[in-house]
Amino acid sequence: MRSAAAPVHWTLVRRTVQIEGETYAFEALPSFERASAEAYRQLSRNEVRTTQTAREDLSPMFGVIWGSARVLARRLHHAELDGVDALELGCGLALPAWVAARRGATVLATDQHPDAGPLLARNLARNGLQDRVRFQTLDWRRPGELPRFERVWASDVLFSRELPALVARTFARTLAPHGVGWLADPGRTYLPELQDACAEVGLAMEVDVDDDGAGTEAFVVTLTHQRRALPAGKG
Ligand SMILES: C[S@@+](CC[C@H](N)C(=O)[O-])C[C@H]1O[C@@H](n2cnc3c(N)ncnc32)[C@H](O)[C@@H]1O
């Protein structure tokens, strides 16, 4: 697969994933490591000059399902989502969006990677979910105007230093006043930084640990807007 915007030709493999006994069929990169090596070879062979930031933006991490996505997907499988409008941030293959769509949600799946949308379109069609999930490019560094959603979620998006602040700001800007956000994380180095980043933008957070039903665990952070204390009444 190669999209017009990206300089790498990705080799895809067919896979299935089971979430609580329901099967989802999809195409994906063979593994993060293999795809990274292949992307590096292609960029060198074609003498594509990229900055480190551009190389990070083209990282193949969008093209595999990470453990935290399976944990979040299992949680969404059991959530009340019928008729809910939801937003997924840094979706990659967007497994949580597929599961939520089967539970009746309408999901806007977003990512900055130029190949995430085309690959998602193939996988939605494969699972008959193309009417319930749509894709929009969204880069947290340049978010622009965004509507608000009752549910906002993300999995495994805190892998570098600047991301806790950017991700917290994006949750704060997109979560409806009484909405609920979830962020699943495998315990990345920058997860603890999320606490201060959330306080900075007026989000309250609670952390628990959940699993995918097959032995993979992740932290799941629940995010809500902080309620300001009501001013004391007179007398
Ligand atoms: C480790 S992958 C996780 C993918 C997917 N959420 C999962 O758990 O399977 C991180 C994702 O965040 C996206 N991402 C990284 N920086 C981003 C940014 N500044 N704005 C939007 N998405 C970003 C990447 O393109 C990638 O798809």
Task: Return phi, psi of residue 181, to 5°.
Answer: -110, 150
User: Both tokens of residue 135?
Assistant: 């894709």
pLDDT for 53-100, tens place per residue? 777 778 899 999 999 999 999 999 999 999 999 999 999 999 999 999
Cβ(216) to ligand 1 under 6 A? no
From the CB of 69, is ligand 1 less than 6 Å away?
Answer: yes
Q: Ligand 1 centre from 91 Cα, in Å?
A: 6
How many of the other CB atoms lie within 10 Å of CB of 36? 15
- Ligand 1 pocket residue status of 156, Cβ below 6 Å: yes
Q: Where are the domains of the chain?
A: 66-225
Q: Tens digit of pLDDT for each residue in 66-76?
A: 999 999 999 99
* Residues contacting residue 133 through CB under 8 Å, at least 6 positions apart: 94, 97, 98, 101, 106, 107, 108, 109, 120, 124
CATH tag, 66-225: 3.40.50.150
**Ligand 1 atom nearest residue 59's Cα:** 25
Could you identify the atom of ligand 1 that is nearest to the CA of residue 61?
2
Q: Whose CA is nearest to atom 12 of ligand 1?
A: 90
pLDDT tens per residue across span 201-225: 999 999 999 999 999 999 999 999 9
Length of the chain (residues): 235
Query: What's the CA dihedral at 118, 75, 138, 12 to 10 degrees?
Result: -20
Whether ligand 1 lies within 6 angstroms of the CB of 127 is answered as no
Instruction: Name every residue whose Cβ is closer than 8 Å to that of residue 212 and which is 6 or more positions away in sequence.
Output: 19, 67, 70, 71, 73, 74, 218
Nearest residue (by CA) to ligand 1, atom 14, is 90
Q: In whole angstroms, what is the distance from residue 192 CA to residue 181 CA?
A: 17
Give me the pLDDT at residue 73, please. 98
What is the per-residue pLDDT for 43? 77
CB-ligand 1 contact for 90 (6 Å cutoff): yes
Q: Which of 36-40, 155-159, 168-172 has the lowest mean pLDDT?
A: 36-40
Spatial strand order of the sheet with 85-89 comes to 133-137, 106-111, 85-89, 149-155, 175-185, 217-225, 203-211
Q: Is the dihedral of CA 206, 207, 208, 213 positive or negative?
A: positive
Beta-ladder partners of 185: 219
Ligand 1 pocket, residue 113 CB under 6 Å: yes
Look at residues 42, 40, 36, 16 and name the one whose alpha carbon lies nearest to residue 28. Answer: 16
Helix or strand holding residue 19 (H, E):
strand 13-19
Three-class secondary structure of residue 147 per DSSP: coil
Using the Cα atoms of residue 45, residue 46, residue 48 and residue 54 in order, give the sign of their dihedral.
negative
- Angstrom distances, CA of residue 42 to CA of 10, 27, 103, 196, 232: 10, 21, 40, 40, 65
Per-residue confidence (pLDDT) for residue 235, from 0 to 100:
40
Spacing, Cα 214 to ligand 1 middle (Å):
23
Give yes or no for a contact between 86 and 76, defined as CB atoms under 8 angstroms apart: no
Distance 82 CA to ligand 1 centre (A): 26
